[in-house]
Amino acid sequence: MSSHAEILPPPAPEERERLTRIQIDRSCRQTVVWYYASAVFWLLVGSALALIASIKMHTPGFLADWEWLTFGRVRPAHLAAMIYGWGSMAGVGTLLWLQARLTRNRLPFPTLLPATAVIWNLTVALGVTAILAGYSTSIEWIEIPPATAILFGFCIAVIIAASINMFRSRESEHTYVSQWYLFGAIFWFPLLYVSAQIFLHTPAAVGAVKAAANWWFAHNVLGLWFTPIGLATVYYLIPKVIGRPVHSYHLSLLGFWTLAIFYNWAGTHHLIGGPLPAWLITVGIVGSVMMFVPVVTVAVNHHMTMVGNFHHLKHSPTLRFVVYGAMCYTAVSFQGSLQSLRSVNEISHFTHYTIAHAHLGVYAFFTMVMFGAIYYVAPRLLNTEWHSAGWIRVHFWTTAAGMAIYWLGLTWAGWEQGRMMNDPRIPFLEIVKFTVPWLWSRSAAGVLMTIGHLAFAWLFWNMLRQRGAYLPGPTLLLRKGEPAAAAAGGGE
């Protein structure tokens, strides 16, 4: 046996690379699939709660006799399910897989990391149930009772330890731009969460300072938790799928460090007109406007990377979702910077315009990128391809169209609503009546997005059941009779 082994030629570099990737993916399988499956479950729960809340906006009598389902409980429960359930669990699953791939290390802690997925689920379930039972903190974006914070803290500590463990033993000395963003996310979020718990739930801050702490936390959950994970994913997946490197590493670093410097200050623009020192509000506005720097940098880098490869959007599910999300990142960031100006904010504040803006960031950017990531990662973990390209198309077009209807309708209605509220001659009831048709369009958009979520859940469920082909090649969006060679060149 030994003489036979000695004469075997060493595997080619390409084969060694393929075997390494397979070993890394196997080490990630249990943990990341747990996180992804949980995320899909919370996506459905959050969608159901969102639809109920949306219908109540134009039909107040809907489910009015169920105290658990009153608007004041359903809306924050929807937010908690989507932020801490869907968004965070999809983000953590992707983060761990990217860390393993980029460091070329197996995922450590094979018992502890899957346990964090169970604990994270338990925490979100306790939080959502407590909110529906009437025990919300009534503080936006952090409605989950503070008693659950220690469970989140434990999970984050394990995820940080795993990331550091892999990074310290990485094979390459090079640090990829995605790693900068991933480490930013896992170090910034605990700081945000712990600080918010202290300032909002202890006497460390009182009065208007609590409002400042609230919006410092809420705004930064998107900017310093979801955004870094989303951008890390975009920076990894676009080059992988089209088979070419990122346009400029230096632009990538400029985008990262300017995000780190400016975004942290932007949250207080939500309190324009509030009882806070003028300088504090001005700092928030300046930070928001300076966000043009990282946003333009990232947009140019992504666009220049994609130049000459936009035709792959026709066939690649991953690329289609990720590029849609990346374009919406640029759009929501530009809108956010302009929205922070006092002259704009005095119209848009306290209107549906803000709701549309928030969904453009959390859904159109981050959620769509996470959909693209799962389409790329899950087949590699489960050795099975997606069983239906048709359902992927349903997923993409219903969510993309639903989001477009949602944003366009509420942005227009919210702007007009703000102008009308600033006119003292217009009775408030007339303003409410003006918004009702647009609230119906919001529900219609929600139905479309929920159909997309059901299609995605169906696809993921069938993947778990191994109903797809045994990874002979990627699932591509080909027309009937169109040869797979037509999509050649995509690295998916």
The closest alpha carbon to 385, from 467, 461, 452, 458, belongs to: 467
The closest alpha carbon to 375, from 266, 276, 455, belongs to: 455
Whole-structure pTM value: 0.93
Q: What angle do CA 228, 351, 134 make, to 5 degrees?
A: 75
Structure tokens belonging to residue 390:
């048709």
Q: What is the DSSP letter of 170?
A: -
CA distance 175 to 484: 35
Q: How confident is the model at residue 337 (pLDDT cuts 50, 70, 90)?
A: very high
CA distance 366 to 387: 25
Cβ(75)–Cβ(446) below 8 Å: no
Half-sphere exposure of 295 (CA within 13 A, CB side): 23
**Which ranges constitute the DSSP H helices of 383-427?**
389-421
**pLDDT higher at 351 or 9:** 351
For residue 134, give the 3-state DSSP assignment: coil
Structure tokens belonging to residue 419:
């102008």
Q: What is the DSSP letter of 133?
A: T
Residue 142 has a CB neighbour count (10 Å cut-off) of 28
Q: What is the DSSP letter of 276?
A: S
pLDDT in tens, 185-201: 999 999 999 999 999 99
Q: How confident is the model at residue 472 (pLDDT cuts 50, 70, 90)?
A: low
Q: How confident is the model at residue 12 (pLDDT cuts 50, 70, 90)?
A: confident
CA distance 18 to 9: 17
Cβ(406)–Cβ(453) below 8 Å: no
Cβ(388)–Cβ(459) below 8 Å: yes
pLDDT above 60 for 304: yes
Question: What is the per-residue pLDDT for 490?
Answer: 46
pLDDT in tens, 82-96: 999 999 999 999 999
Structure tokens belonging to residue 250:
């230096």
Number of residues written out for the chain: 492
Residue listed under structure tokens 């900068």: 180
pLDDT above 60 for 145: yes
Burial track 49-85 (b if 16+ CB lie within 10 A, e otherwise) = bbbbbbbbbbeeeeeeeeeebbbebbbbbbbbbbbbb
Q: Is 46 exposed, middle or buried (0-12, 13-18, 19+ CB in 10 A)?
A: buried
Of all helices (H) and strands (E), which one includes residue 442? helix 428-464
CA distance 342 to 338: 9
CA distance 426 to 344: 20
CA distance 425 to 16: 74
Cβ(356)–Cβ(420) below 8 Å: no
Question: What is the per-residue pLDDT for 269?
Answer: 87
Q: What is the DSSP letter of 487?
A: G
pLDDT above 90 for 330: yes
Question: What is the per-residue pLDDT for 484?
Answer: 58
Question: What is the per-residue pLDDT for 453?
Answer: 98
For residue 359, give the 3-state DSSP assignment: helix
CA distance 103 to 106: 9
Cβ(159)–Cβ(88) below 8 Å: no
CA distance 143 to 153: 16
pLDDT above 60 for 488: no
Question: What is the per-residue pLDDT for 171?
Answer: 79
